[in-house]
């Protein structure tokens, strides 16, 4: 029986790469977003792998729609093995010379916290009961090196740090039920938006060192099958380092570069007690 995944925010960028990477590994992949055109692009790319992919339109600022999305997948499939909380919406900002927090509008909060944090919590809240009932499942929260290193803005770092704390605490509460929760830190990712920006580096990281979106999906597929997954629950894992551990190459060949130097190394939280 095919394993079932739900990827929130799968219409472009990192989310699209995750959908494609999971489809390559044979998962049944449900994914969500707002733009029907972009959703269709993801569906078309993922369907080329031969996997079953299912599109859902969802406004992730609406708690009821997020819950209905998760419940609908569970009702349709009878199970949910993997939830990837990826949906994100960020305000326009200058990546070369970022504005200070007091120079930014207060409503930055509405995207970086309401979508980038709340929507993840709501989806996990909806998915957990079904995973607990089956005593298995994995929740992956896409976070960032911005938890430890300054990246983009104060609110960006706040939202990512909160996600990593959410991962740790949810893992603690879910562990006895066989459900695992992991944060994944991509490095700089070579999205269409990034390539069109015209910048040659972000926070000192050259665009030439950027990872592909598809690498994220390949790494998550291997992580979900890792025999030591329970030892990783509650932790933040770095995509590039997992790719090296699992011997996964980029779609075009080569290995990604870990962003660990950006924050000086060290763990985010200790292992679960």
pLDDT tens figures, 21-80: 999 999 999 999 988 888 999 999 999 999 999 999 999 999 999 999 999 999 999 999
Question: What's the CA gap between 123 and 145, in Å, rounded?
Answer: 22
Retrieve residue 36's tokens.
């029907």
Res. 197 pLDDT band, cuts 50 70 90: low
Res. 108 pLDDT band, cuts 50 70 90: confident
What value, to the nearest 5°, has the Cα angle with vertex 115 and ends 181 and 45? 75
Residue 240, pLDDT > 60, answer yes
Highest mean pLDDT among 85-89, 96-100, 225-229: 225-229
The residue extents of the domains of the chain are 4-262
* Cα atoms in the Cβ-side hemisphere of radius 13 Å centred on 118: 16
Window from 183-192, 193-202, 211-220 with minimum mean pLDDT: 193-202
Res. 114 pLDDT band, cuts 50 70 90: confident
User: Which helix (H) or strand (E) covers residue 172, if one does?
Assistant: helix 154-174
Catalytic residues: 156
Question: What's the CA gap between 238 and 259, in Å, rounded?
Answer: 8
Length of the chain: 273
Residue 94, pLDDT > 70, answer no
Answer CATH for 4-262 from 3.40.50.150, 3.40.50.720, 3.30.70.1050, 1.10.1740.10: 3.40.50.720
Tell me the pairing of strands 236-238 and 4-7.
unpaired
Highest mean pLDDT among 5-9, 191-195, 208-212: 5-9
What share of the chain has pLDDT > 70, as a percent? 88
Mean pLDDT throughout 237-247? Answer: 93
Whether 192 contacts 13, CB under 8 Å: yes
Mean pLDDT throughout 225-229? Answer: 96
The pTM is what?
0.91
Mean pLDDT of the chain: 88
Whether 11 contacts 45, CB under 8 Å: no
In 8-129 the beta strands, taken as DSSP E runs, fall at 28-33, 53-57, 82-85
Which residues does 181 contact at the CB level (< 8 Å), separation at least 6?
124, 138, 139, 140, 141, 167, 170, 171, 174, 233, 234
Q: At what angle do helices 13-24 and 36-47 cross, to 10 degrees?
A: 30
Residue in 14, 118, 16 with CA at minimum distance from that of residue 60: 118
Tell me the pairing of strands 53-57 and 201-202.
unpaired
Ramachandran class of 88: left when φ > 0, alpha when ψ lies in -120 to 50, beta otherwise: beta
In the chain the beta strands, taken as DSSP E runs, fall at 4-7, 28-33, 53-57, 82-85, 137-142, 179-185, 201-202, 205-206, 236-238
166-196 burial by CB neighbour count: b if 16+ within 10 A, else e?
bbbebbeebeeeebbbbbbbbbbbbbeebee
* Cα atoms in the Cβ-side hemisphere of radius 13 Å centred on 141: 36
Q: How deeply is 122 buried, as exposed, middle or buried, from its count of CB atoms within 10 A (0-12, 13-18, 19+)? A: buried
């Amino acid at each position: 029986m095919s394993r079932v995944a739900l990827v929130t925010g799968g219409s472009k960028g990192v989310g699209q790469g995750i959908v494609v990477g999971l489809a390559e590994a044979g998962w049944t992949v449900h994914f969500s977003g707002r733009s029907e055109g972009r959703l269709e692009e993801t569906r078309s790319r993922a369907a080329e792998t031969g996997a079953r992919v299912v599109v859902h339109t969802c406004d992730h600022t609406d708690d009821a729609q997020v819950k209905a999305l998760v419940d609908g997948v569970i009702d349709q499939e009878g199970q949910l093995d993997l939830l990837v909380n990826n949906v994100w919406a960020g305000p326009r900002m200058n990546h070369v010379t970022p504005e200070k927090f007091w120079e930014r509008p207060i409503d930055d909060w509405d995207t970086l916290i309401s979508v980038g944090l709340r929507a993840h919590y709501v989806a996990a809240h909806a998915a957990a009961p079904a995973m607990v009932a089956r005593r298995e499942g994995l929740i992956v929260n896409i976070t960032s090196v911005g938890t430890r290193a300054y990246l983009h803005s104060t609110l960006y770092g706040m939202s990512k740090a909160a996600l990593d704390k959410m991962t740790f605490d949810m893992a603690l509460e879910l562990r006895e039920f066989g459900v695992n929760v992991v944060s994944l830190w991509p490095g700089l990712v070579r999205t269409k938006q990034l390539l069109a920006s015209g910048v040659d580096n972000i926070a000192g990281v050259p665009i030439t060192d950027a990872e592909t979106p598809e690498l994220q999906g390949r790494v998550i597929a291997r992580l979900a099958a890792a025999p030591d997954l329970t030892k990783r629950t509650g932790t933040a894992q770095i995509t590039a380092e997992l790719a090296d551990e699992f011997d996964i190459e980029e779609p075009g060949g080569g290995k990604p570069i870990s962003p660990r130097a950006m924050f000086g190394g060290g763990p985010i939280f200790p292992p679960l007690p």
